[in-house]
Amino acid sequence: MRPILLQGHERSLTQIKYNRDGDLLFSCSKDHVINVWYTHNGERLGTYDGHNGTVWTVDVDSESRFMISGAADNELRLWNVATGKCLYTWEFPTAVKRVAFSEDDKQVVCITEQRMGYQCAIRVFNINRAGDGNKQSKEPAHMFNPVGSKATVCAFTAQPGVIFTGHESGKVALFNLKTGEEVHSNERAHGDVVTDLQMSEDRTYCITSSKDKSARIHDTKTLDVIKTFTTETPLNSAALSPNKPYVLLGGGQEAMSVTTTSLRQGKFETRFWHKVFEEEVGRVKGHFGPINTIAVHPKGLSYASGGEDGFVRVHNFDDSYFKSQPYGDLQIED
């Protein structure tokens, strides 16, 4: 499995995302730009220029028509994927930390940071998909401030009008978008900041990662913790692997406390865990610093990792990976 190195960012990666078809990979970074790459050869297809601060988050719709991004310049931007043009910009009093499209591409949810007297806020915007996409409403369709610990990650669930959130305290919760009411919560889902959240294809379960060194699979309706994966390093990202019973975990110590020991101890490796047996099955080396973000191809054909070192590495799985059944012939539902 020879990785393709995507060189184009000048600073650390914050989030990477495959499109629905898996032919494109979007990456955003502290260098203020968003790049899009062909996943089969690592060629850069384009750059989305305009943000004036760290781009914290991106998401792309299911048609690969619109892309949404959030940044430290307090802006949420809607882009035309094909032309690279910015179609619309929303401005807030604080940074945008997380964005996500709904399953039907008609809505976007975003989290803005708690800072300078402003509370953490969750807003949902209706996306007008007619015409060029440059006629959007300035005001959110819904907005609320989560009570207690601020939200760090969010996504739409399989239930209409309900979003899943992960919080600074380690809490996970479900919110009713229309009322802003916290419908359900698990205060002790994690012991520290929730750093990533990725949904299963049907959005009935999700995986979260945390600085508490663990990742967990949650039922998005009951908030039951289904599985726990405990590592020895703070985790920045966790991803589900479609068509294979694995989860991929990545992390490492903060940049300040990074030492050569961390590299030697394999703290910057992507870890593969069996999602049902909760056992580690393998590790992939490569990055020279913490792994900030991991994404898996929607059909499970490859995976990519983005690091504090500024590189994105795309790994196309080879035949042996698909043929191997290290645990025998067990049918495991996705």
Interacting residue ranges for another protein, rule: CB under 8 A:
158-160, 202, 204-205, 219, 221, 226, 276-277, 327, 330-334
Question: What does residue 245 show for φ and ψ, rounded to 5 degrees?
Answer: -85, 45
d(CA 58, CA 66): 11
Nearer Cβ to another protein (183/276): 276
Residue 200 burial by Cβ neighbours in a 10 Å radius (0-12, 13-18, 19+): middle
Nearer Cβ to another protein (256/330): 330
Shortest Å, Cβ 106 to another protein: 15
Shortest Å, Cβ 314 to another protein: 29
End-to-end CA distance of the chain: 24
Residues in a beta bridge with 28 = 15, 34
Please report the DSSP string for 168-205 in residue order.
TTS-EEEEETTT--EEEEETTS-SS-EEEEEE-TTSSE
Shortest Å, Cβ 280 to another protein: 15
Question: What does residue 4 show for φ and ψ, rounded to 5 degrees?
Answer: -100, 130
Taking Cα atoms as reference points, which of 150, 176, 151, 172 lies closest to residue 163?
176
Nearer Cβ to another protein (232/333): 333
d(CA 96, CA 282): 35
Residue 5 burial by Cβ neighbours in a 10 Å radius (0-12, 13-18, 19+): exposed
Shortest Å, Cβ 202 to another protein: 6
Nearer Cβ to another protein (85/184): 184
Nearer Cβ to another protein (204/228): 204
Shortest Å, Cβ 18 to another protein: 23
Shortest Å, Cβ 157 to another protein: 10
Nearer Cβ to another protein (319/333): 333
